[in-house]
Amino acid sequence: MSTLPDYSQGVAYVRGQYVPIGEAAIPITDWGFLRSDATYDVVTVWDGAFFRLDAHMERFLASCARFRLDPGRTAAEIAAVLEQCVRLSGLRSSYVEMIVTRGQPPWGSRDPRQAVNQFYAFAVPYVWIANEAQRAQGLNLIVSDVQRIPASSVDPRAKNYHWNDLTMGLLGALDAGGDTVVLRDAAGNVVEGPGFNVFCVNAQGRIVTPAEGVLEGVTRRTVIEMAAALGLPLDLRALPADELRGAREVFLSTSGGGVLPVTRVDGQAVGNGAVGPVVRQLVQTYWDWHRDPRYSQPVRY
């Protein structure tokens, strides 16, 4: 008597097959594992609909082109795989990832052009990078002394797994009692953290977010568009660490939670130490936009 696979914890697409997430694996010799030679993107499903799938797909394919990786599928074919992962899992709120790894060249070859690129995907329950209390009260963000990998070395606009700098910065922040971390560039400007972009509302009441040296996140793009729609002034430019520390409000943008408030930087209160009005307005608008058919694509369960 056969039993159906248990997809309730998530589904992965591996080498042409859909498998329970706990059974998903890649070969140990894949350069995606051995060298972090891969690219990926994450799109979310909320209330049974993808949010901004087209924007994520556009960035994913641009990242593939930047790193000379070939998913071997059209955008429509990739979207169909993602939807099937969600459909099989039955998840109404999901964190959905698409990946292309370098694969493996013939034994003895160091030529990445000879590798057969591999496409993977998976859907798991929605991932929050801040817990409920942190979302309500705000995070304690630590400004790290660890320098972000220069954009001239690894282009941050192409999503990648070169995270050792972010991981070392995060470990230092957690050891210091912080909740998460933001790294700086060689000039001392804050750039990004592990899985998020950073914004502040400065002393002049303008929203500021770094213009360079960062992944141009889809949630970051959404915040920029929301600010324009709400008539909130926003500047894309370098953001010195001291300006962040002296800001009225600070927040993060990420697919893992949307707009997340920061109420302490390096342990010191931001403004009056409470979640501010601009952040509250952006949080509300972000989740309202999930119900807007311009940005949502229902999953056909």
Tens digit of pLDDT for each residue in 28-50? 999 999 999 999 999 999 999 99
Which of 99, 134, 118, 53 has the alpha carbon at shortest distance from 299? 53
Say if 31 falls within a structural domain: yes
Say if 297 falls within a structural domain: no
Taking the C-alpha atoms of residue 266 and residue 249, their distance in angstroms, rounded to an integer, is: 14
Say if 30 falls within a structural domain: yes
pLDDT at 2: 57
Domain of 224 in residue numbering reads as 132-289
Say if 53 falls within a structural domain: yes
Say if 198 falls within a structural domain: yes
Pairing of strands 11-14, 118-125: antiparallel
Taking the C-alpha atoms of residue 294 and residue 106, their distance in angstroms, rounded to an integer, is: 45
Q: List the CATH number of the domain containing 145.
A: 3.20.10.10
Say if 86 falls within a structural domain: yes
pLDDT at 4: 81
115 and 143 part of one domain: no
Domain boundary among 125, 146, 176: 125
Query: Which structure tokens are listed for 1?
Result: 């008597």
66 and 192 part of one domain: no
Query: Which structure tokens are listed for 130?
Result: 């801040």
Tell me the pLDDT of the chain averaged across its residues: 97
Contact 24, 143 (CB under 8 A): no
Overall residue count recorded for the chain in this entry: 301
pLDDT at 266: 98
Give 75-101 as a DSSP string: HHHHHHHHHHHHHHHT-SSEEEEEEEE
Taking the C-alpha atoms of residue 273 and residue 227, their distance in angstroms, rounded to an integer, is: 23
Question: For the residues 176-191, what does the mean pLDDT come to?
Answer: 97
150 and 109 part of one domain: no
For the segment 58-101, what is each residue's pLDDT rounded down to a tens digit?
A: 999 999 999 999 999 999 999 999 999 999 999 999 999 999 99
153 and 272 part of one domain: yes
Helices (H), the chain: 31-34, 53-66, 75-89, 132-137, 164-175, 218-230, 241-245, 277-289
105 and 198 part of one domain: no
Say if 6 falls within a structural domain: no
281 and 155 part of one domain: yes
210 and 70 part of one domain: no
Query: Which structure tokens are listed for 24?
Result: 């998903």
136 and 120 part of one domain: no
Predicted confidence (pLDDT) at residue 209 exceeds the cutoff of 70: yes
For the segment 119-164, what is each residue's pLDDT rounded down to a tens digit?
A: 999 999 999 999 999 999 999 999 999 999 999 999 999 999 999 9
pLDDT at 215: 96
Predicted confidence (pLDDT) at residue 245 exceeds the cutoff of 60: yes
Sheet holding 17-20, edge to edge: 17-20, 11-14, 118-125, 94-101, 38-46, 49-51, 296-298
282 and 178 part of one domain: yes
For the segment 253-300, what is each residue's pLDDT rounded down to a tens digit?
A: 999 999 999 999 999 999 999 999 999 999 999 999 999 999 999 999
Which residue has tokens 């697409």?
13
* Number of domains into which the chain is organized: 2
Which residue has tokens 């790894």?
101
49 and 181 part of one domain: no
Domain boundary among 107, 125, 143: 125
Say if 17 falls within a structural domain: yes
60 and 174 part of one domain: no
**Angle, alpha carbons 244-181-45 (nearest 5°):** 105
Q: List the CATH number of the domain containing 118.
A: 3.30.470.10
201 and 250 part of one domain: yes
Contact 183, 150 (CB under 8 A): no
Taking the C-alpha atoms of residue 290 and residue 46, their distance in angstroms, rounded to an integer, is: 7
Confidence of residue 211 (pLDDT cuts 50, 70, 90): very high
Confidence of residue 3 (pLDDT cuts 50, 70, 90): confident
Domain boundary among 125, 146, 175: 125
